[in-house]
């Protein structure tokens, strides 16, 4: 039981932290000096046992399978540095969540299997080996705190009188200073410290109408008034690491668990585009739309860093199961000029539909480009949109037909298809083009075309124009593993400089990403799923 652990089990050491009043030399904040919380209150607060009693810290559940805490809890020598490496923790760590009275049996006890630190800040996300049930994760504050704001801090560490409490404690604090990445805090009770040993990583949160919002995480403290502290130490302030300004990072890390668990074997069509914001050269990467076999459509929001292992940060359902999209034959993301990108859909009955823009709430601006049961579009095999002409605002639509003909519809606007150009006449080769996708692999003035052939060969056609194809580069030979690729799509999922990352869904339901494909070929696969 926690209360029976020896004093040496608690973290010790000193950290230097700059605050408004000057340089603070503070021990890692390891418990809240306030009163015991009512059972079940602030149940999102986690108790972390690191190394079987080697260290003890606190944390906050921000997702069913993720706890945020202080990186210094896991550092080799927190007195020198709070840096930790991404991956499994150095010491076996268990997290207890939803058990505000540690002598009870409620809540969830899970192992921490992965750490994801935030660079330059005493913060880390800790992944649990199983989801926490029965506890609502704490929401993240979306606005910056100000000097004079009142918050509440919580933790499982020491108090002014108890070495190792069995219950979660909390107390009110006031914000003394707001730095770029930290907060200076002072407890409202002048007789005791707000934060003592055992509270490192514990939450500092604001409460609005009974709904807590996480503002910061306990980092360091003077610990004046905490049991076991030198009686001559009268300073009771603490410094916390801000969380309110890194919502996007927390969201992305939390999403690592959800993305692989999607039913990828039912992903039938994929399209990419800037649907939720961002543009080439910006920080937000391309988003991805997936049409599932049951007609549901999901929008995956692109992340804002260069981590190829985790290119997406959130998902939104933009069409429900058994929607009309169950009858979509092909989809492609496209820019029609102005606002977010849209979508072109070819349906099983030959109808061609344009959605002028797509966002988190759904598909908007539906326009019929070709009616159902027409005499032309039922014979289309593949479609992809890209910038094949000089128009920088709107994409062009490239189409392969059942007889091998390849056409280009230039400058697709919000009203109609215009300017059909025949790039190749009917032939016996192009009926074997199983997937096509527009990309920018070679640095030409116009987009390239990537084709995955039925025999597994993959070919790049550089700088396609209205004049046709201008050479070809084979990046995968015939009978290659790409014969098992069931979906191939291109987007700017990593560097965001141009759409030259290729995403592949394989026949065995794996999902892989090839970053930075160029004329020399692919340069290694990053496994996203499987």
**Burial (CB count within 10 angstroms: exposed 0-12, middle 13-18, buried 19+), residue 459:** middle
Give the mean pLDDT of the chain.
87
Confidence at 219, pLDDT banded by 50, 70, 90: very high
SS3 sequence, 253-314?
HHHHHHHHHCCHHHEEEEEEECCCCCCCCCCCCCEEEEEECCCCEEEEEECCCCCCCCCEEE
Nearest to 204 by CA among 77, 314, 58: 58
CA dihedral 425, 431, 432, 434 (to 10 degrees): 110
As a whole number of angstroms, the distance between CA 291 and CA 300 comes to: 11
CB 32, CB 225: distance < 8 Å:
no
How many Cα atoms sit within 13 Å of 14 on the Cβ side?
6
SS3 185: strand
- CB-based contacts of 231: which residues, under 8 Å, 6+ apart? none
**What percent of the chain has pLDDT above 90?**
71
As a whole number of angstroms, the distance between CA 5 and CA 10 comes to: 9
Instruction: Give domain limits for the chain.
Output: 2-248, 262-517+525-529
User: Tokens in use for 379?
Assistant: 């014979």
**Burial (CB count within 10 angstroms: exposed 0-12, middle 13-18, buried 19+), residue 439:** buried
Domain 262-517+525-529: CATH class, spelled out: mainly beta
As a whole number of angstroms, the distance between CA 220 and CA 78 comes to: 11
pLDDT of residue 437 exceeding 90? yes
CB 441, CB 500: distance < 8 Å:
yes
Instruction: Provide the CATH number for the domain formed by 2-248 in this structure.
Output: 2.40.10.120
CB 108, CB 61: distance < 8 Å:
no
392 or 378: which carries more pLDDT confidence?
378
As a whole number of angstroms, the distance between CA 440 and CA 460 comes to: 10
Task: Show the DSSP H helices in 307-389 as ranges.
Answer: none
CA distances in angstroms from 168 to 37, 94, 157, 295, 391, listed in the order given? 6, 17, 8, 47, 62
User: Tokens in use for 334?
Assistant: 């496209």
Nearest to 136 by CA among 249, 250, 41, 254: 41
CA distances in angstroms from 359 to 286, 299, 344, listed in the order given? 12, 8, 14
As a whole number of angstroms, the distance between CA 79 and CA 200 comes to: 13
pLDDT of residue 277 exceeding 60? yes
Confidence at 17, pLDDT banded by 50, 70, 90: very low
pLDDT in tens, 287-344: 999 999 999 999 999 998 889 999 999 999 999 999 999 999 999 999 987 778 999 9
User: Tokens in use for 69?
Assistant: 């805490």
| Residues belonging to the chain | 530
pLDDT of residue 9 exceeding 80? no
* Residue 32: predicted pLDDT: 52
């Amino acid at each position: 039981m926690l209360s029976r652990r020896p004093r040496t089990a608690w973290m010790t050491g000193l950290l230097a932290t700059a605050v408004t009043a000057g340089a603070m030399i503070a021990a890692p904040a390891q418990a809240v000096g306030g009163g015991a919380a009512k059972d079940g209150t602030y149940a999102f607060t986690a108790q972390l046992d690191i190394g079987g009693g080697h260290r003890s810290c606190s944390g906050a559940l921000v997702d069913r399978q993720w706890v945020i805490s202080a990186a210094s809890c896991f550092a080799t020598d927190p007195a020198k540095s709070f840096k930790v490496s991404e991956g499994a923790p150095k010491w076996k760590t268990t997290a207890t969540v939803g058990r505000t009275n540690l002598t009870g049996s409620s809540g969830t006890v899970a192992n921490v299997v992965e750490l994801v630190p935030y660079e330059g800040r005493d913060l880390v996300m800790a992944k649990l080996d199983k989801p926490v049930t029965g506890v609502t994760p704490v929401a993240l504050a979306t606005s910056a705190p100000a000097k004079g704001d009142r918050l509440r801090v919580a933790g499982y560490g020491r108090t002014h009188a108890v070495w190792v409490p069995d219950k979660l404690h909390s107390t009110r604090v006031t914000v003394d200073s707001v730095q770029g990445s930290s907060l200076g805090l002072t407890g409202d009770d002048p007789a005791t410290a707000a934060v003592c040993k055992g509270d490192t990583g514990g939450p500092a949160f604001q409460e609005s109408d009974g709904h807590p919002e996480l503002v910061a995480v306990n980092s360091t403290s003077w610990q004046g008034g905490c049991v076991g502290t030198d009686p001559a130490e009268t300073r009771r302030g603490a410094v916390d690491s801000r969380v309110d300004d890194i919502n996007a990072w927390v969201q992305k890390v939390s999403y690592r668990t959800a993305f692989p668990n999607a039913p990828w074997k039912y992903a039938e069509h994929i399209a990419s585009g800037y649907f939720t914001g961002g543009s080439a050269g910006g920080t937000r990467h391309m988003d991805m739309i997936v049409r599932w076999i049951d007609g549901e459509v999901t929008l995956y929001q692109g992340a804002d860093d260069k981590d190829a292992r985790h290119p997406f940060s959130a998902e939104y359902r933009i069409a429900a199961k058994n929607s009309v999209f169950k009858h979509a034959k092909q989809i492609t993301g496209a820019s029609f000029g102005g606002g977010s990108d849209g979508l072109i859909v070819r349906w099983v009955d030959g109808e061609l539909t344009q959605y002028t823009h797509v966002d988190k709430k759904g598909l908007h601006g539906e326009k019929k480009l070709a009616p159902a049961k027409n005499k032309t579009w039922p014979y289309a095999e593949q479609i992809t949109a890209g910038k094949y002409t000089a128009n920088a605002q709107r994409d062009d639509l490239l189409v392969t037909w059942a007889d091998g003909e390849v056409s280009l519809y230039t400058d697709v606007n919000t009203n109609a298809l215009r300017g059909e150009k025949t790039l190749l006449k009917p032939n016996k080769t192009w009926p074997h083009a199983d997937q096509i996708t527009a990309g920018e692999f070679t640095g030409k003035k116009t987009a390239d075309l990537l084709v995955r052939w039925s025999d597994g060969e993959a070919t790049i056609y550089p700088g396609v124009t209205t004049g046709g194809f201008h050479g070809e580069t084979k990046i995968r030979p015939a009978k290659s593993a790409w014969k098992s690729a069931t979906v191939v799509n291109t987007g700017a999922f990593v560097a965001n400089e141009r759409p030259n990352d290729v995403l592949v869904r394989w026949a065995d339901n794996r999902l892989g990403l090839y970053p930075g494909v160029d004329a020399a070929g692919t340069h290694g696969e990053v496994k996203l799923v499987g």
